[in-house]
Structures are given as C-alpha cells and as structure tokens.
C-alpha cells in the first residue's frame, strides 16, 4: 500500500475518513462535511450508538453534497488521552474499515485535536504509521483466495495542514515498519522454508543497507568450543549457523563499546528427544522469534540510519530427534568453559543463547547486551499474552525498557532474579543443569543466562514466548507474527543510545 500526504482536500471518489471526539464532537473536516450534507453526519450519530469513543466507527453511504462514496467517522475518544499510540490506532482502524470496501484509494482527514499534546504533523505521521502497520498480511501461500476476500486498498492519502512536516516525520517510522514487516515475514514462514541456512541468507540481505554480515558455520563454531549450541543442532540434517550483524552508525564513536542484541533462532523446535506433544507443535516454526526480532531491528536501525554502533548476533539451529540427537543426561561444554548437564532437551534455547551471548561479549565488548527469546512456556503462565517477561542485572536498563515499551505499545514486566533461584540450576556432575525444576521456570531460565553475562556488562533478557504470535487482530498488529520487540528496541535506541 502506498501512503502519501497532501493538503486538506475533499476526494471525488472513494471513502473519506473523518474524526469525532467523545460526546460526538465533530472535528473540523467532519463539521464541514456535516454542513455540506445538510446535517447528515449528526443525524447518523443521533440515530446510532456511536459516541466518538476510541474504537467506534460509523459509516454514512454516498451522502448528497460530497463526492466521496462514503464518509467513515472514526471515534478518537478523549482529547487529553489522544497520544501517539491513539493516533496509530486511529490509522490502523481506519485502514481495516476501508480496505475491504472494493475501493482502491481512500483519504484520512486529520484535523487539530484541541486538548491533545500532539501537533497536527505528529497526528498525521502516526496515523499513517498505524495504517501501514495494520495493513500487513502474510498471504504468499494462498493460491485460491478470491479477489473479494483480499484488501482492495492500494493508495492511502493523509490529508492535513502541514503535510510536509508530516511526511518528514513519517520517514523514520516507515523504516521502522520495514523492520517490523521483515520480522513478521520471517516468523510467519514455515520451517521447510526457513531453517538455519536460509535464515542466515535472509540476514545477508541487510548488507545492502550498509550492515556488515558474517556467518559462522559448524566448523568455525566447533573451533570456538560452542558445545552448547552445537549440541542442540546435532540431531538435525540442517546445519547450524551463527550470524553476526554490525551497524556502525556513529563512526566518530567507532572505538566506543556498542550496544548488542542477541536472539534465539530455533527455526523449529520438536523438543528433541524430550519431544513435545503433537498438539500445537506447528507453532514451533516461530521459536526463532528472538532472532527474527534482532534481524528486523538491525534492518530498522540501518534503514533510518540510526546514529548508533550496534551489534546483532543470532544463533540458528533446528532441534530435532534422531539417532544423532542430544540425549537427556549429556554434558556439554560451552564457549565460556562452563559445563552444562542437559536434563531436558526441550530447554534448548538457553543453550543456544549461552554460546551466542558469550561470543558477542568476547568479541565486541558491548556496554549493554539485550537478548530476546521465545524461551519458556512458564512466562505465558505468569504474564499471559500481554507482556514480555523482563529480567536484568541493572535497574536503569529496566526503567528504560519499561518506558520504551509503554511508548510503543509493547509492554514488558520485570521479573525477579536471586541466589535462591540460581541454586536451583546447580548440577551434581557439572557446573549447572539446563532446567531448575517445575516451579519458576522462566526465572531459572534467566538465571541460567545470567551465568553467561560478563562482569561490567549491563544485561536484560526478554522472554517473548507469550507475545511473538497473536491469535487476534489489533489495529496495528494483525493476527499472526507480531514482531514484538522491534519497535520496543528501536525506541530504546532512539531515546538513549544514539549520539
């Protein structure tokens, strides 16, 4: 879908979206149309339950006096609560309302919202951003879908005063959306299409944006003693890969330690010898969600030319049962030199991250490292599908992540760490075991990862198991792969780490 910006103008065809505040208060364009149609909008409101609340909409078909095929009134709620996220939701809902009408073009009229802190250019840019995010659709494998079932909208115009400023503000948001879409695509692909080698190939495409890419194969990882990552991969015909992405967006700070992002990339997770139940196993194609977020984030940072030096590292494996697969009770030696007794082969993501995190720190010496993983079902038991679990060794990074998540609608909730939890993963025959028992599973998984964080490195772990895939639509996140984490970390970098 193409999005453009223009000065206020009445369309001659297609739907026109206008805004209404709580209490049925028409904004400027809606008021103008109401007068031109001899009160058609107010009559429609009076005859309905539409009150201008956020989430409400009301359509008036072919009103006499205007060229538009229909007027769609979108509720924006209370002005004082109308912020960036509300403007994005407005755009997303507007797109969803008009995309299936059969029209190829539509206009959203943006007017000043008295009482809101947002300037009209900010409202316009965020409405466009929300519409773009909400337009995502993964349909490449639908070969018999009827045209009437597909979105018809091809062009969306955001009409407002100060359209030039709105277009400029939208530019970086569009690049972030590119990263979000890339992640959604990767997470949505089936495991016969995306496996370690092909996912590494997808990451290589970022080189055209100026990102330096290096891919390590199993022989190179063996020389680095990555026994934990390689142990997970040994049961699969698909060979593992470790992908390193480097964005030097602050060349004057070239010698300054970078910020690093590390992602779990289990392209399919059967559980290995500790095999999962059959029900729902198809969902395990998105067990590489953490790596997908890191790859999409790096695309977003490079796309908008973020003034930051950032590293992205993703460990890519497939966890399969076979005659060569890792067994419960095996002991592996990690790159750090620490040994792990593998009690459960379905607790594999932490093994992959252990070597990826150590490699990242050993080579790049980051000041801050954030890892992302669809790590535990336990975090879904704790937080459902609304928040990502956040664990950290530093209060400041927690506060920053919490604020960034709130501002983009990707909330995180801090979970505890402590010595009592850490003792639960002590092993009788090795330095540690890879699970800590039935209780507090997301916490003991984080404690495991913390043993691979070097002194002086600020670290946060985001368990995104409950938020990587959605079974329902929202205005800006269609059901399916969410790319939760791309916008969150992009905002974190914007607010705190760009020079």
Catalytic (active-site) positions: 276, 350
Number of residues in the chain:
499
Closest CA to 309 of 216, 212, 402: 212
Q: What is the 3-state secondary structure (H, E, C) of the chain?
A: CEEEEECCCCCCCCEEEEEEEHHHEECHHHHHHHHHCCCHHHHHHHCCCCCCCCCCEEEEECCCCCCCCEEEEEEEECHHHCCHHHHHHHHHHHHHHHCCCCCCEEEEECCCCCCCCCCHHHHHHHHHHHHHHHCCCCCCCCCCCCHHHCCCCCEEEEECCCHHHHHHHHHHHHHHHHHHHHHHHHHHCCCCCCCHHHHHHHHHHHHHHCCEEEEECHHHHHHCCCHHHHHHHCCCCCCCEEEEEEEECCHHHCCCCCEEEEEEEEEEECCCCCCCCCCCHHHHHHHHHHHHHHHHHHHHHHHCCCCCEEEEEEEEEEECCCCCCCCCCCEEECCCCCEEECCCCCCCHHHHHHHHHHHHHHHHCCCEEEEEECCCCHHHHHHCCCCEEEEECCHHHHHHHHHHHHHHCCCEEECCCCHHHHHHHCCCCCCEECCCCCCCHHHHHHHHHHCCCCCCCEEEEEECCCCCEECCCCCCCCCEECCCCHHHHHHHHHHHCCC
φ, ψ of residue 90 in degrees (nearest 5) = -55, -50
First-to-last C-alpha distance (Å) of the chain = 33
Nearest CA to 266 among 305, 296, 240? Answer: 240
Report how far residue 105's alpha carbon sits from residue 148's, in angstroms, rounded to the nearest whole number. 16
Angle at 102 between CA 96 and CA 108, to 5 degrees: 50
d(Cα 341, Cα 329) in Å, to the nearest integer?
6
- Please, which residues have CB within 8 angstroms of residue 109's CB and are 6 or more apart in sequence? 8, 16, 17, 18, 19, 29, 30, 159, 160
């Amino acid at each position: 879908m193409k999005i453009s910006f223009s000065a206020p103008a009445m369309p001659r065809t297609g739907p026109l979206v206008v805004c209404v505040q709580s209490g049925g208060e028409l904004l400027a364009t809606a008021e103008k149309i109401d007068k031109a149609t001899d009160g058609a909008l107010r009559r429609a409101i009076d005859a309905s339950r539409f009150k201008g609340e956020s989430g409400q909409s009301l359509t008036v078909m072919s009103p006499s006096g205007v060229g538009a095929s229909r007027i769609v009134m979108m509720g924006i709620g209370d002005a004082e609560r109308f912020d960036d996220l509300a403007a994005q939701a407005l755009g997303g809902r507007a797109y969803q309302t008009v995309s299936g009408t059969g029209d190829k073009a539509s206009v959203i009229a943006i007017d000043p919202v008295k009482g809101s802190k947002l300037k009209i250019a900010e409202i316009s840019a965020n409405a466009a951003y929300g519409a773009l995010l909400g337009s995502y659709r993964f349909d490449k494998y639908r070969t018999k879908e009827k045209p009437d079932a597909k979105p018809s909208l091809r062009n969306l115009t955001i009409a407002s005063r100060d359209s030039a400023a709105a277009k400029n503000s939208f530019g970086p948001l569009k690049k972030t959306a590119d990263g979000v879409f890339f992640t959604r695509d990767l997470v949505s692909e089936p495991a016969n299409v995306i496996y370690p080698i092909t996912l590494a190939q997808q990451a290589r495409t970022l080189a055209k944006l100026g990102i330096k890419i290096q891919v390590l194969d199993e022989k190179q990882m063996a020389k680095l003693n990555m026994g934990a990552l390689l142990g997970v991969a040994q049961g699969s015909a698909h060979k593992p890969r470790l992908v390193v992405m480097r964005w030097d967006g602050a060349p004057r700070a070239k010698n300054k330690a970078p910020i690093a992002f590390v992602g779990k990339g289990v392209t399919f997770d059967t559980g290995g010898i500790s095999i999962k139940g059959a029900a729902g196993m198809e969902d395990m194609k998105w067990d590489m969600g953490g790596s997908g977020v890191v790859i999409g984030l790096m695309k977003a940072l490079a796309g908008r030319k973020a003034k930051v030096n950032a590293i992205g590292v993703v460990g890519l494996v497939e966890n399969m049962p076979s005659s060569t697969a890792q067994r419960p009770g095996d002991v592996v030696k990690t790159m750090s030199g620490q040994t792990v007794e593998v009690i459960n082969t379905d607790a594999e993501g932490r093994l992959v991250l252990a070597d990826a995190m150590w490699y990242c720190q050993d080579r790049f010496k980051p000041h801050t490292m954030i890892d992302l993983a669809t790590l535990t079902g336990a975090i879904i038991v704790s937080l459902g599908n609304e928040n990502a679990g956040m664990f950290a060794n530093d209060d400041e990074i927690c506060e920053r992540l919490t604020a960034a998540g709130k501002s983009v609608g990707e909330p995180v909730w801090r979970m505890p760490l402590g010595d009592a939890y850490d003792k639960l993963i002590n092993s009788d025959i090795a330095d540690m075991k890879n699970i800590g028992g039935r209780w507090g599973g997301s916490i003991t998984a984080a404690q495991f990862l913390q043993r691979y964080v070097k002194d002086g490195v600020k670290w946060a772990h985001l368990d995104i198991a409950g938020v990587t895939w959605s079974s329902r639509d929202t205005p800006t996140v269609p059901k399916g792969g969410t790319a939760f984490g791309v916008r969150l970390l992009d905002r974190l970098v914007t607010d705190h780490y760009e020079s």
